[in-house]
Amino acid sequence: AAYHGCVLFADDAGDDAIERGSATKLETFLGPDDGIYRPPFQAFDSTHIWEDSALFRSVYCVYQIRRLANSLYCSEMVASNAIAHERADALSSLQDDVSSLEDSRDFDPSYLLRFLGQGRRSEGASVLQLGGSDPIQMELAAKTVSEFNRMHVKQRDGGEHICHPINCDYTALNLNCGCPSPKVAGKGCFGAALMQEPDLVRKLTSALHRGSDGTMPVTVKCRIGTDEGYQFTKEAYESRSEEDEYQNLKRFVETVASDGIVTRFDVHARIAVLNKNYSPADNRKVPPLRYHHVYRLAEEFPELSIHLNGGIDSLSGAKKQLEECGALSGVMVGRAFCSSPWNFAMSDEVLYGDKHSRMSRPRNRIEVLEAFGEHADNEEEIYDPVKTRRFMCKAVAHLFAGEMNAKRFRIALDEIAGLPKKHLRQLQQNPNARPQSQPPKISELILDAATKHLSEDALYRSPEESYEMLLSEELHAERKARLL
């Protein structure tokens, strides 16, 4: 199977988590193929950020994405300064005077892998999203990714031995110009704040291009603008000129794309409110969506790949947007995938007309759980279940969203997630106690919980049947809304 070049965005923790100092976003892209991202399909693990535990939060959630759709995946935002600083520390620890990490075989990459690592297996078509406002640090971050990519390939092909395995195989780089978090766009002066400095954005993307030696496509994630120059209220916003707003967005895109490096923009069709104490959640809901700006952008810049983001919460919604504007290259779906992943199991066929995908796609959700259980069992043989179990359970927690007794299934998963810690506490309290018999594998526990709490219809319903049910429910909701 080949990866499709559109956007599906699964967000596990989201922008709100940035406020807490830890974030894990999973983004993949659904839409017409743009010819850039089509490597061979591979099973994979995922990335992590900020702390080791976050690795397992995204690893298992992204595994589920690949079980359901062949789409491009984009990582959470990683701060370029963090990579640049860890790179400097790694180089300074080496005895040899080297400027490239590839020149040494004995450095410890573990600190850098906290930001760049992708688990034991290749993630396939994936984009690393970077945040920052310093071109030098951005170039060093891109250089590090490029070096790690090459070292990963050499290790994989058996041509190079390094003390520590390096699993890093990114397809492209993305500059975040859309995050409205006060810690990012406020104190950090990057994210959505960069919408106000297109010349700086061009320098940053040029730095990414130089750092990767031009070997990786550079893309930009942005909004349609910000509240620069006025105090945002709904009334004040509605009274402002939409044409002026679009022209500002157009100038931003023209400036960033002027040197030919960036040809792809993922555009959230809302402004970012930066001059008020808005949370990321407020910035996803309060500013109104203006899809027509993104449509117009795609139509006026046919040489660019424009992807629409914001407010798309279903597969039929994604299809509708692509049909509404044929110039769009794809759509980006956010929390909808994470909250109801099964609802997107037909994406390959619905969005791409890929009838061959059904040969590799799970026939029902019990097959998803069986495959995931086998994967989870293998992971627990390598990693400590005390640290990883809860993240693995979280990856399948929303697989049955909307089904009868789905909440009971989630409660059962929560109990399964806590078992390793419970057993560890019992052992610490009574270290001389005789060890219990071998506990059940996580795969057995998950399948038992599913068959106990969920109906056969929910477990064995096919993706086609589930999608038809969703369409029927959406049609009923539309008719009901008209009557009201």
Q: Is 61 a catalytic residue?
A: no
Partners of 131 in beta bridges: 79
Q: Which residue, among 138, 145, 140, has the nearest Cα to 117 in the 3D structure?
A: 145
Considering 61, 168, 177, 179, which one is annotated as catalytic?
Answer: 179
Contact 261, 281 (CB under 8 A): no
Please count the residues of the chain.
484
For residue 305, what are the CA distances in angstroms to 5, 33, 246, 259, 348?
Answer: 10, 10, 17, 15, 20
Partners of 9 in beta bridges: 27
Q: Which residue, among 22, 3, 6, 26, has the nearest Cα to 341 in the 3D structure?
A: 26
Instruction: Give the catalytic positions in this structure.
Output: 179
